[in-house]
Amino acid sequence: MTPSRWSDLDRPPLNAAALRRAVVTPGALWTALDVVDATGSTNSDLAARAAQGAAEGAVLVAEEQTAGRGRLDRRWSAPARSGLFFSVLLRPGGTLPAGTAPDGTAVPAREPVPVHRWGWLPLLAGVATATALSRAAGVDTALKWPNDLLVTVGGEERKAGGILAERAGDDAVVIGIGLNVSLRAAELPVPTAASLALAGAKGTDRDPLLRAVLRSLADWYGGWRAADGDPAASRLQQTYAAGCATLGRPVRAELPGERELIGTAVAVDGDGRLVIAGPDGTEQPVAAGDVVHLRPAG
């Protein structure tokens, strides 16, 4: 017998209509929200929609991803309906006309965000997701530079999710977020993985969790755009540093060509790069695109 979408009562399907009513509202960032039963990659699908002219604020959610991708094209998968697997389309390179915010205040026109600041978008998504989960799930979520979401299980930090940002044309970026919600211990792909349930979340209903993340993401993105993408003026840089578990720890950055950089992670600079201080105190920034792996040193 083919299992129905209700086969696992602990993992009911998302309510697409209710989600749409909650987040696609006049004046809001989110302009469309679709839920599909399964797809290869929501990032790939949404990038294709972006190429066809999809508006900023499109959200694509999959109950199951069969070819989910992480950084450097690493594969990522999980059982159907065991997590949140979704992508959002942002157009930081577009000009925003003047308008009215949902609370009735006037919003001035905004020029495109300089391209050199777009590298902050995956870090912004990390901050937005972590703050939303702390409130909505009651789980302290830390950030591992550049794109991992960490929770604590049995006193150990483990990865519960990840973020992938990809350019989609001249003015757009697609941000994909994968988050393990109800994954059980026997279903973990590796022992260092985790889920919100294993971290003691007060609830694993994915509908309110997704609404919370999208609401937080819209707030942080709006503030970042209003500050012309300036990470300090939008308080993104300070907030990211406060929640980043990588800072203050000895790390080994594995670089292309079998090179490595060993030292202490001391800061995230204005370009979103991790600053590593070597044994002699010399500081060197590394960009996410230059790092193959970032591991604890020693």
135 and 22 assigned to the same domain: yes
Question: Looking at 242, 265, 282, which one is the last position of a domain?
Answer: 242
Q: What is the pLDDT of residues 120-143, one digit of tens each?
A: 999 999 999 999 999 999 999 999
254 and 114 assigned to the same domain: no
Whole-angstrom distance, CA of residue 87 vs CA of residue 110: 24
253 and 236 assigned to the same domain: no
Q: What is the pLDDT of residue 76?
A: 61
Which strands form 293-296's sheet, in the order they lie side by side?
283-286, 274-277, 259-268, 250-255, 293-296
226 and 285 assigned to the same domain: no
One-letter identity of residue 258: E
On the CB side of 99, CA atoms within 13 Å amount to 11
72 and 145 assigned to the same domain: yes
Distances in Å between the alpha carbon of 286 and those of 145, 189, 264, 290, 294?
11, 29, 12, 6, 11
Helix axes 121-136, 206-226, angle to 10 degrees: 140
**Residue 10 in domain:** no
Q: What is the pLDDT of residue 6?
A: 47
Contacts of 74 (CB under 8 A, 6+ apart): none
Q: What is the pLDDT of residues 233-257, one digit of tens each?
A: 999 999 999 999 999 999 999 999 9
Find the mean pLDDT for residues 57-67. Answer: 93
Q: What is the pLDDT of residue 9?
A: 74
49 neighbors 39 (Cβ within 8 angstroms): no
Question: Looking at 205, 224, 242, which one is the last position of a domain?
Answer: 242
Question: Looking at 216, 242, 268, which one is the last position of a domain?
Answer: 242
24 and 109 assigned to the same domain: yes
**Residue 6 in domain:** no
252 and 228 assigned to the same domain: no
pLDDT at 69 over 60: no
Contacts of 291 (CB under 8 A, 6+ apart): 146, 253, 254, 255, 274
50 and 175 assigned to the same domain: yes
The confidence band for 70, taking pLDDT boundaries of 50, 70 and 90, is low
Q: What is the pLDDT of residues 137-150, one digit of tens each?
A: 999 999 999 999 99
Q: What is the pLDDT of residue 75?
A: 61
201 and 267 assigned to the same domain: no
**Residue 170 in domain:** yes
**Strands (E) located in 168-286:** 173-180, 250-255, 259-268, 274-277, 283-286
CATH of the domain at 277: 2.30.30.100
86 and 53 assigned to the same domain: yes
Q: What is the pLDDT of residue 7?
A: 54
**Residue 117 in domain:** yes
**Residue 103 in domain:** yes
The confidence band for 68, taking pLDDT boundaries of 50, 70 and 90, is low
Q: Is 47 in a helix, a strand, or coil?
A: helix
Q: Give the tokens for residue 70.
A: 């992480």
- Read off the pTM: 0.92
117 neighbors 226 (Cβ within 8 angstroms): no
226 and 276 assigned to the same domain: no
The confidence band for 2, taking pLDDT boundaries of 50, 70 and 90, is very low
Q: What is the mean pLDDT of the chain?
A: 93
| Domain around 173 | 16-242
Q: How many domains does the chain have?
A: 2
Compute and round to an integer the Cα radius of gyration of the chain: 19
Residue 102's Cα: distance from chain center in Å? Answer: 24
Q: What is the pLDDT of residues 9-43, one digit of tens each?
A: 789 999 999 999 999 999 999 999 999 999 999 99
Helix axes 236-243, 206-226, angle to 10 degrees: 140
257 and 226 assigned to the same domain: no
Whole-angstrom distance, CA of residue 204 vs CA of residue 286: 36
**Residue 197 in domain:** yes
CATH of the domain at 39: 3.30.930.10
